[in-house]
Amino acid sequence: MRLTLRTLLAYLDEVLPAPQAEEIGKKLQESPMGNNLARRIQDVLRQRRLSSPTVSGPGIGIDPNAVAEYLDGTLSADGIASVERICLESDLHLAEVAGCHQILALCLEEPAELPPRICERMIALGPDSTKVMAPTDAAPSLSPGELSGQTVSAILAQAPGVDVSWPAAVGAAAPMPTKPGVAPVLAPASATSRFEEGLPDYLKTNRDKTRWWMYALATVVLAGWGFLTFRSSPFSSVTGDSAATATSVADELADAESPLPEIPSEGIEVAAAPMVPKVAATTDGIPESAPPVEGPGLPDVENDPDLESPPYRKQTGRSNPKEAVGSTAPPGPTRTVAGKGKAVDSNQSAGTYTSSEGIALAYLGNDESWQVQPQGAAIPFGRAFAAPNPFESQITIPGVQLAVQPGSRLVFQAPVRGTTPTVDLKTGRLLIRPDTSDGAGNPTVALHLTQATWVVTLSNDAVLGVEASRPMATRFEQRAGVDPGRGALHLASGRANVVHLGEREFAVELKGPATLELPVAVDDDGTARPAIATAWRNPDWMTPSKQTSSVRTAATLFARSFTRDEPVESSISGISKDSNPRVSELAAQALALTGNVPEMVKILKSNRHEEARRAAIVGLRTWLVSEEGDPDVLKEQLALRYTTLEAETVYELLWGYSRRDAQNKSKSAELLKRLSDPELSIRSLAIHHLKALTGQDFNFHPNATEQQRASSIRQWKHHLRNHGDCLIKPKGEASAEEKEEDEDAASTEGNL
């Protein structure tokens, strides 16, 4: 038996005989491609909210009739090749065909039992039946929607080869028609009742009776309610007999020998309700401070999977409406968030999302998924928050206003030294301005970036820009979480006192405009050597700029793709294939920001837009060396979509190259050779590294034709000859410090 998509589906759904199933199982073990396809089928069947294929009009992938013939084994050889080709290229169609096959397999295991009359009617109206018409002189229907036995028999008599005898009287049961060469199929006597029980109410024969009973019951209920309402109305009169009766009843109660026992006010123990820490609020309802919750063994927010964003594989599941973002439902079990200072209740609000437009995302630990943050909703301690590109998010915390720039991700941790909630900026940019609406001045805000905590006291006229960049991989399988990344504090105006907390505490005074580069170098004796530059101008991102019409259009289309109370990946995974390259790129950037590895690998493999593939490459290379990075997870996802050799090549390329590698002849030649690879994603990775290392691309486009690519490759070969057969001309043996500087430069390439 050949190993095809159809036989693989039959093997997975366990409908093959034992010898054939054993044969297919052996072939799967010998075929890496078949094994990867089997895992891919199981993966697409588990995807949530995968849209349905178009069945008509332009853009139709497979004709539904062709799918039916394919599953039935009656499709031509050319048709089979076309269906399987589309299924291998499209997860959408692969999931549809695999799902239909799975449903059919279940139906074969538990065949439906139909009444005998329906079975015989379907046999009579078989493949060689012709169009039948109800006779005009047939007996009238017994009731609306029903045909008499005489009329049914007259219709069946028109089917070729059917022997039907007319009933003796109207309404008599019509005899079972028979067709030559076909044995009658009879269901048990109870099949009719079970069949009718499975029908919806509007298809049952007694639907009219049921409807009238419902009307009658509703009339009785309304009449009783009206009567009771009238009797209890204050406008109804009370007769003398009724008044006398009421008086006598009152006298009997007053003269009763055994009065009702009194409820004692003492001696009863009442269980105390659990105390919830109160939060002092300002006039606008924003907590002024987060009271500490003391206790031994307080967990750290960075290691709590329910608070921090876990690896991608946990980002599945449907939203629970009772625990949606911003829900007013009672909070779940109280957790404590230690963070960088004293612990606080994880259900307590750290800030409020106040933007009136755009999209923001929040990670829900209970549902293990990223979802849309409702406008005006609170952001609890320990909850990851993200502002996808191109949307800016406004957040209010006590004393300051935060403008979270597009493409940023942060977590609010516990306060330190009486400050506001600690802003743990994972990646991106922030604008911080003092909020003097409550009359307070010179606010103090705590920041955590580049693996260090900083306490910043601002003057009332200060405008502070905070920037953090996560590193990308530069060496094969380098350790994750070692490189702290790069950051900066840009003081546009005013004054700021910056204090570094830790074993070696020191302070830095800034007067705007100035920039403090992070991390700060510290000598062995503990002396800090901060790199402070007096800026003659602020970074461009700190100055508001007007968006172009094309950017606004793409942002509007992108915002419409999000669905409230649904996981983000189910909302935007489909729009990543949008024909607009800008919209596709925005979807890829949002998936990278939330660490969704399966969707990034899918975009790298099959997306036709260079912009989207580039965003997926940066996202995967950043994720690999982050705290969430797991090389085994990446290998597993690559194996689902690539051949074994391609998966190994892509895995190696995602780890990247350093500048020292670019000065190596063999590695330079190997990277240049990847530009001619038949796999699109490998060519995309190769030009990504070449441009990052040399700053040149020689107009090479992975999507271009082979002839166009050949012209660019000739220019790259000429570049190698002019640089000593290397991408970067060697300058002799570099020192250890120069090697480290080269790797740092390569890791931050393209981030800031």
Per-residue pLDDT of 620-637, as tens digits, reads 999 998 888 899 999 999
Helix (H), strand (E), coil (C) string for 11-61: HHCCCCCHHHHHHHHHHHHHCHHHHHHHHHHHHHHHCCCCCCCCCCCCCCC
Token pair, residue 107, equals: 């139906």
| Amino acid 512: pLDDT | 82
* 112 has pLDDT over 70: no
How does the average pLDDT of the chain come out, rounded? Answer: 74
Model confidence over 518-538: pLDDT tens digits? 988 877 777 778 888 876 678
Residue 650 phi, psi (nearest 5) = -65, -40
Residues whose CB falls within 8 Å of the CB of residue 87, separated by 6 or more in sequence, listed in order = 5, 62, 93, 94, 97
Q: Find the farthest-apart pair of alpha carbons in the chain and give their distance in angstroms, rounded.
A: 119
What are the DSSP E strand ranges found in 238-318? Answer: none
Task: Measure Cα distances from 340 to 447, 452, 659, 746 in Å.
Answer: 10, 10, 36, 31
Instruction: Tell me if 640 sits within 8 A of 40, measured CB to CB.
Output: yes
* 428 has pLDDT over 70: yes
Model confidence over 118-141: pLDDT tens digits? 767 766 665 544 555 555 554 454
| Amino acid 337: pLDDT | 46
Range in 364-368, 455-459, 599-603 the model is least confident about: 364-368
Read off the amino acid at residue 310.
P
Burial of residue 607 (CB within 10 Å: 0-12, 13-18, 19+) is: buried
Mean pLDDT score, 710-735: 84
CA-nearest of 656, 628, 634 to 747 is 656
* 441 has pLDDT over 50: yes
Pairing of β 422-434 and β 444-449: parallel
The Cβ-side half-sphere exposure at 237, using a 13 Å CA radius, reads 3
Mean pLDDT score, 41-53: 77
Token pair, residue 530, equals: 């901060």
The Cβ-side half-sphere exposure at 121, using a 13 Å CA radius, reads 12
Rounded distance, CA 666 to CA 548, Å?
Answer: 45
Model confidence over 226-244: pLDDT tens digits? 766 655 444 444 344 444 4
Instruction: Tell me if 90 sits within 8 A of 61, measured CB to CB.
Output: yes
Instruction: Using a pLDDT cut of 90, give the percent of the chain over it.
Output: 29
Q: What kind and span of H or E run contains 432? A: strand 422-434
Range in 262-276, 502-516, 579-593 the model is least confident about: 262-276
The Cβ-side half-sphere exposure at 561, using a 13 Å CA radius, reads 25
Mean pLDDT score, 387-411: 93
Rounded distance, CA 76 to CA 592, Å?
Answer: 43
| Amino acid 743: pLDDT | 52
In the three-class reduction of DSSP (H, G, I as helix; E, B as strand; rest coil), residue 589 is classed as helix
Cis peptide before 144 (omega within 30 of 0): no
* 560 has pLDDT over 90: no
What are the DSSP E strand ranges found in 563-695? Answer: none
* 147 has pLDDT over 60: no
pLDDT band at 259 (very low <50, low <70, confident <90, very high): very low
| Architecture of the structural domain at 301-540 | Sandwich (2.60)
Domain ranges of the chain: 5-109, 301-540, 549-747
